[in-house]
Structure 1
Amino acid sequence: MTDQFRTQHFVQCGLWLLISSSLLACGGGGDSTTGTTSEGTMASGTAGVLCSVLNSGTQALSYNNTVPGGLATQVNDNLAFNYSWTCNNTLRNLVGNGVPNHVVTGGNFATKVSAQPVSGSVTINPVAMASSTAVKLPGFALNSVKMDPGTAGTCTNTASSVMSGCNYAGGTGAWRMEAMGDPAVSPWKFDFGTDENNAHVQPNGQYHYHGMPTHLIPKLNAASATSMTLVGWAADGFPIYANLGYATANSASSSLKEMKGSFRTKTSPDSDRPSTSLFAMGHFQQDWEYEADLGDLDECNGRTGVTPEFPNGIYHYFITKTYPFIQRCVKGTPAAWANARP
């Protein structure tokens, strides 16, 4: 059974099985990796979408491990992954180990990928508000890999190059380094060692996404090129989708289009910014500003509309190929972990 079927088979099953007040999934099945999977139980009402999601197995990972100041070493690991989402009356609960359930290629990580204890809860009945709340950790992908679009890296006002005045691990600079370059920003100077999934590894070995989780999307939805793909849950409980959404937000019969964020680089740099001849506008978080209706989405990379899992409509987020890639704020009340760092 495909990952698309496991993730969305609550739609295909058509009937909900109610036994002793517990909703059961309509089946399980194998994975392209070794393990067991049962995904896609819908509880009563739209709040219960995907209230029984679990997967475990072994995933082959291939990347370079480069210790600062050392040589790159090719790593070919087979790591066990596991994740489980369950619901109670108020919360959607995640337990996993943060190991991706998809191929990892092209990365240059300072630390080897390792299993990490991952747990968190979000409300099952989120409420969107007019205002937004900035967050550091906006959500988790279905596979328990966290979404962490910002970086700890900074540059000083007088930075003259990536190696002089910039610190990938933090430092004292005021200018927040961006891990990924928007297609409009060229040439790109920073190299955070991200792989084909726009992900890399923190010093503790935790793999995390900065942008589009390229190889996760087809794992979740074999028809991801022609249909919306739910990839995770935000810190406020609203769903997060990949880059494709309905052209007309409230019409599931409308065509799909690639969603674009509503951010642009500022027309002039902020005071005391490092030279734009060295770092083109867009390299720093402070370079970006939101302009309503510039793209398809609001300041949190979200909008209200229908989705396959929520046919009556819901506020939801998108991961985009344009800045901010993964949203940096939420419209509902964020969970306690949303502004934590390991």
Structure 2
Amino acid sequence: MRHYYIFLTACILSGCNGYITDANDASQTSTDIATLEHHSHGENENHTHDSIDITNKILENRATNCAEYANTYTSDVLDIQRDLDFEGNLEIVLENGKCLFNTNSIPNHNFNDGGAHFATAVSEVNKTFKVTQTPTPAASTTPLSLRTDNAIFLNGVKLDLLAAGCFGIGDGRIGCHKMNAPFRYDPMSPASSFGTDSHNAHTQPDGTYHYHGNPNALFHSDQAIESPIVGFAADGYPIYGSYFDDNGTVRKAASSYQLKSGTRVAQNGINPGGSYDGTYIDDYKYVKNLGDLDECNGMTINGSYGYYITDAYPWVLKCFKGTPDASFNKR
């Protein structure tokens, strides 16, 4: 059994049973709701509160500074298909203007359910990610890379959007490590078969559980409630759920990417044929001001920039507005 810690402050965690799929279940309050006192953090200041169980809890905190999440939480979860209990750990501590996420990569919800087919069994994998407390925009955006993880969620699970699979290379699902290779598969496409569970997650060869899109667990995804921050990108900017307040109307943020029209055109002599249907990330194009979000899938509200989880491509983020921390580089 392994202990799972998440450090959160200035938040109220609402309980729910099982997966966060039913609006009524997800909105129920119970006697074990943990209400945390709001604190401001100085340099190198860390909290030593007792651990609080956040198993299957929905987050509500919207504090944009990662330092506001320095505290300890626990959860007990189940690998459904293996009928195996897991406990994990996540520590978020402050050091030299950064938040250190020390995690064993175990989520706060059950996993490996439904039609999931994990090539490798989930394992406890210890990792440390560093997030700046003061993100700033870079001179130019940084594209996503197979060499860099994208973000860390507030349940200790990382985001790794890109697949190492392209049409015509290997078996199509692995072995495509060149970033300029055309027709890279989108793991979130219904036409792709990446063996993900109901949380849009599966494992890497070392057993690391990671998301390719919406975790379907950390925020109300079926209610028009302004979404909390659910994680932080490698550049330090926060990641929100799907909903935002648009001048008094709470609604889902809309991506500015759309499918290209017509049939696919060969790239570097490679062409899988067929119409642009979202099987590959090359099937999409960015159209400025088409939706609410910019080319990185983020926007600024009340002076604060953040990325948003969307129901359509690119799902969470497409590029980094700031400078990714080197701790997100893969070995």
The TM-score range, normalised by the shorter chain, is 0.7 to 0.9
Q: Which amino acid aligns with 2:260?
A: K
Alpha-carbon distance in structure 1 between the residues aligned to 2:159 and 2:196? 13
Distance 2:42 2:321 in 1: 35
> Which entry has the higher C-alpha Rg, 1 or 2?
1
My pick for the range that moved more, 121-130 or 231-240, is 121-130
Q: Given the superposition, is the C-alpha separation of residues 19 and 206 from structure 1 closer, same or farther in structure 2, using an over 3 Å criterion?
A: closer
Match of 1:189 among 170, 188, 191: 191
1:216 deviates by: 3.1
1:156-171 map, 5 Å: 156=168, 166-171=171-176
Q: Secondary structure at the match of 1:286?
A: helix
Tell me the amino acid that sits aligned with residue 191 of structure 1: S
Indicate if the aligned counterparts of 1:245 and 1:257 stay in contact, CA closer than 8 A: yes
Say whether the 8 Å CA contact 1:146–1:209 is kept in structure 2. yes
Distance in 2 (alpha carbons) for counterparts of 1:227 and 1:54 = 25
Q: Is the 8 A contact 2:46 2:94 kept in 1?
A: no
Instruction: Give 1:255's match in structure 2, choosing from 230, 233, 249.
Output: 249
- Identity percentage over the alignment? 30
Q: Deviations over 1:12-69 (max 9, x none)?
A: 76764889995758x65642649xxxx98x8xxx646424133233211213xxxxxx
| Shift of residue 189, structure 1, vs aligned partner | 2.8
Which residue is 2:95 aligned to?
88
Tell me which residue corresponds to 2:166.
Answer: 154
Q: Residues 127-148 of structure 1: CA distance to partner in whole angstroms, max 9, x if unpaired?
A: 1246211123221111221101
Q: Which amino acid is 1:31 matched to?
A: D
Residues 219-252 of structure 1: CA deviation (Å, up to 9, x unaligned): xx9x97523121101101111011111214xxxx
**Partners of 1:305 and 1:19 in 2: how far apart?**
25
CA displacement at 1:341 relative to structure 2:
3.4
Matched, 1:8 2:11: yes
Letter in 1 for 2:240: Y
CA spacing shift, 1:155–1:127, aligned 2, 3 Å: same
- Give 1:285 deviation, angstroms: 1.8
Against the structure 1 CA distance between its residues 16 and 117, is the aligned structure 2 distance closer, same or farther, given a 3 Å change threshold? closer
Stretches of structure 2 lacking an aligned partner (at least 5 in a row)? 1-5, 14-34
With over 3 angstroms needed to count, the CA separation of the structure-2 counterparts of 1:200 and 1:23, relative to structure 1, is closer
Partner of residue 76, structure 1: 83
- Map of 2:133 onto structure 1: 124
Q: Which of residues 113, 124, 138 in structure 2 aligns to 1:115?
A: 124
1:98-139 residue CA offsets vs partner (Å, 9 max, x unmatched): 011112122221111111011011211111246211123221
More strand by share: 1
Unaligned runs of 5+ in 1: 64-74, 160-164, 182-187, 249-253, 307-312
Q: Taking structure 1 as reference, are residues 115 and 280 closer, same or farther at Cα in structure 2, changes over 3 Å only?
A: same
Whole-Å separation in 2 of the counterparts to 1:6 and 1:123: 17
2:325 maps to 1:335: yes
User: Does the 8 A contact of 1:6 with 1:28 survive in 2?
Assistant: no
CA distance in structure 2 between the aligned counterparts of 1:324 and 1:19, rounded to whole angstroms: 35
Note if 1:267 corresponds to 2:267.
no
Q: TM-score, normalised on structure 1?
A: 0.74
* Partners of 2:44 and 2:258 in 1: CA distance: 50
In the TM superposition, residue 76 of structure 1 has moved relative to its aligned partner by: 1.2
Change in 2 beyond 3 A, CA 1:314/1:124: same
Q: 2:76 aligns to what? A: 58
| AA of the residue aligned to 1:238 | Y
> 1:66: which partner in 2?
none
**8 Å CA contact retained: 2:51, 2:74:** no
- For the aligned residues, what is the CA RMSD? 3.4
**Structure 2 CA distance for aligned equivalents of residues 96 and 209 of structure 1:** 15
Aligned equivalent of 1:303: 299
Amino acid at match of 2:134: N
Aligned residues: 290
1:241 paired residue number: 240
